[in-house]
């Protein structure tokens, strides 16, 4: 009789535990683990050289260590071919890759295929590559990508993903790889260049090819996103794994717009979708002309997500939920844009425009939004 009571009690405990777990964990719920939870930290060496100190709970730590301590698992590292002195060159990316791996973080590599910033408004080829015809450019981008990936692997920091260009919505390596007119000939040239870069990435890590990300800037724009991927796939680019999107609500629309786009992309192209750049303000007080966000009116969801530390934290909670809700579990995750970027000029002589978008206050103290990286 006593054994029976003990057995019944044990069964009851198991049932209660199972019921608790069933309530706590549901596919698509906010307790699922996103595969990518990280940040672009490419400005970290420059911030440190400028004297910026980041702290979390009273402890001064490098940004990658704080990221990892809060549950982050990825860094995004950009690299330019021959940038101005001190900016993200090959040496910088190799150093940051070692730091990231030492902190237990995986790497998304972002070659811009340019000497400096590349985005939908400017996609200048490196000075050393200018004037090349299509065949020569294909050979050059393939070799450059292969060698860059191989160097990272050789130092014991193999990459896990590579983004082929940055925000290539209008193509890259202009004018050769521009698709601003949208002709079949343009898309064919862009496809050839993208495929050559993908081949180089695979050759740089034979036997363990990194996952390929194609990245555009239209996080909240269903039509623009569909046009790009329909056109590029039709032109012959099919060997990519992940659709990457920039999503800054003050430029790319509401969270509802983002949800619609993510759902469309996942259903139409049967690939994982990744927010490769995002950020949200924790204040609009003390901003200056030239800052990216200076008023609450720039925030499409500002009434429910104010520009406060709590509002910033809640933005990332809602972003995570949207990613969890993407059909067929194709919401891969997100990468925050430069959470520790507080003082460094984006270009020599320019003031920094995004200190109020960081995940640290102006004194470098951690904000609650860092818990967005929790598993």
Q: Cite the active site residues.
A: 167, 277
Strands annotated E in the chain? 36-40, 55-56, 59-60, 74-79, 106-111, 161-163, 211-216, 242-247, 272-278, 331-337
Q: Is 310 left (phi over 0), alpha (psi -120 to 50) or beta?
A: alpha
Instruction: Phi first, then psi: give them for residue 74, nearest 5 degrees.
Output: -140, 150
Residue 322: which of 22, 30, 24 has the closest Cα? Answer: 30
**Residue 187 to residues 33, 137, 169, 276, 307: CA-CA distances in angstroms?**
37, 15, 11, 23, 40
Residue 106: which of 76, 61, 86 has the closest Cα? Answer: 76
Tokens for 25?
């964990």
Tokens for 113?
């295929």
Residue 165: which of 120, 218, 107 has the closest Cα? Answer: 120
Residue 172: which of 217, 220, 109 has the closest Cα? Answer: 217
Rounded Cα–Cα distance for residues 297 and 318 (Å): 19
Helix (H) or strand (E) holding 198: helix 184-204
Report the Cα–Cα distance between both ends of the chain, in Å, rounded. 45
């Amino acid at each position: 009789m006593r054994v029976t009571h003990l057995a019944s009690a044990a069964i009851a405990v198991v049932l209660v535990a199972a019921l608790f777990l069933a309530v706590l964990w549901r596919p698509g719920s906010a307790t699922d683990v996103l595969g990518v939870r990280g940040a672009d930290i490419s400005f970290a060496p420059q911030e440190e050289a400028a004297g910026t100190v980041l702290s979390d709970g009273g402890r001064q730590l490098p940004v990658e260590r704080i990221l990892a301590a809060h549950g982050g698992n990825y860094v995004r590292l950009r690299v330019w071919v021959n940038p101005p002195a001190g900016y993200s060159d090959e040496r910088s990316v190799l150093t940051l890759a070692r730091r990231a791996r030492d902190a237990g973080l995986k790497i998304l590599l972002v070659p811009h295929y340019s000497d400096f910033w590349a985005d939908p408004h400017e996609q200048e080829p490196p000075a050393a590559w200018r004037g090349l015809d299509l065949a020569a450019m294909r050979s050059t981008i393939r070799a450059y990508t292969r060698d860059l990936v191989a160097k990272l692997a050789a130092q014991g920091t193999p990459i896990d993903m590579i983004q082929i260009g940055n925000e290539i919505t209008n193509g890259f390596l202009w004018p050769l790889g521009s698709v601003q007119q949208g002709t079949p000939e343009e898309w064919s040239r862009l496809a050839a260049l993208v495929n050559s870069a993908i081949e180089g990435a695979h050759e740089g890590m034979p036997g363990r090819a990194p996952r390929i990300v194609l990245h555009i800037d239209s996080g909240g724009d269903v039509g623009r996103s569909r046009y790009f991927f329909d056109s590029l796939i039709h032109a012959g680019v099919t060997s990519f794994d992940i659709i990457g999107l920039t999503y800054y609500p003050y430029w790319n629309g509401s969270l509802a717009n983002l949800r619609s786009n993510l759902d469309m992309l996942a259903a139409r192209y049967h690939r994982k979708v990744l927010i490769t750049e995002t950020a949200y303000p924790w204040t609009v007080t003390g901003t200056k002309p030239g800052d990216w966000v200076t008023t609450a009116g720039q925030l499409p969801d500002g009434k429910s997500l104010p520009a406060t530390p709590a509002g910033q934290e809640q933005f990332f909670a809602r972003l995570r939920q949207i990613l969890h809700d993407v059909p067929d579990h194709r919401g891969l995750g997100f990468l925050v844009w430069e959470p520790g970027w507080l003082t460094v000029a984006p270009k020599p002589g320019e003031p920094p425009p995004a200190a109020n978008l960081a995940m640290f206050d102006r004194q470098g103290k951690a904000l609650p939004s860092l818990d967005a990286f929790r598993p």
